[in-house]
A and B are shown apart, each in its own frame.
Chain A
């Protein structure tokens, strides 16, 4: 158990819908990261927050947005869902954004878009 929690574990929804994925980082960690794992793309970085502020952005679609709240939990919002958004979404956390700060991953949310 990494100490990072993600809810829900599974999510099944229809095209065009909007969903919210939630992540609670390990106690004491200020940085949160979101990754997407799809069959054809592997693990891809989406976005990073540090202490409430957006710090880095990867290949995140405009239909996707995220935020980190004052209690440090984070939410990833996915809207106008398409079939291709079906994937595993992982949250990770680290103490800070420094090079040597290890990222610890949550168990993931499996999103299925029908």
Chain B
């Protein structure tokens, strides 16, 4: 049972344009959501997070939007840079526990 889903395995964007990565979840008990970026042969790197009581969080070029009624979140990267090319994972947490439940990842390719 995939509780966190990233339906797009890959995304290609031109440098300077906006990248939008999407994530859907099924469990309404999730209280916290995070995005991680992963390069090959490295561990996931934390990007940005959002609490379930908010609908938007911004950090530099990265903005995460949360739509609780639709059980959907998205990561916007503006402007996209070639160095952003990586696999992006969406993850969710419950209030009581620390474990992260990950989506399958979306591979972003930013072309110069």
Residues of A within 8 A of B (CB): 2, 4, 31, 33, 35, 42-45, 48, 50, 55-56, 58, 90, 92, 94, 97-108
Contacts and interface: CB of A to CB of B under 8 A. Distances in A.
A42 B89 CA distance: 10
Interface residues of B, number: 25
A103 B43 contact: no
A45 B43 contact: no
A96 B43 CA distance: 20
The list of the 7 closest CB pairs from A to B, nearest first, reads A105-B43, A43-B102, A45-B99, A97-B98, A105-B44, A42-B104, A56-B97
A42, A94, A102 interface centre (most CB from chain B within 10 Å)? A42
Contacts of B45: 2, 105
Contacts of B100: 33, 35, 43, 45, 92, 103
Given A2-B43, A43-B102, A56-B97, 6 more contacts: A43-B100, A92-B100, A100-B51, A101-B98, A102-B46, A103-B98
Given A99-B31, A99-B95, A45 B101 contact: yes
A79 B104 CA distance: 27
A44, A92, A103 interface centre (most CB from chain B within 10 Å)? A103
Contacts of B34: 102
B44 A58 contact: no
A90 B51 contact: no
A2, A44, A105 interface centre (most CB from chain B within 10 Å)? A105
B32 A31 contact: no
Nearest to A50: B98
A35 B102 CA distance: 10
B59 interface: no
B98 A55 contact: yes
Interface string B74-112: 000000000000000101010101111111110000000
Contacts of A58: 99
A95 B83 CA distance: 29
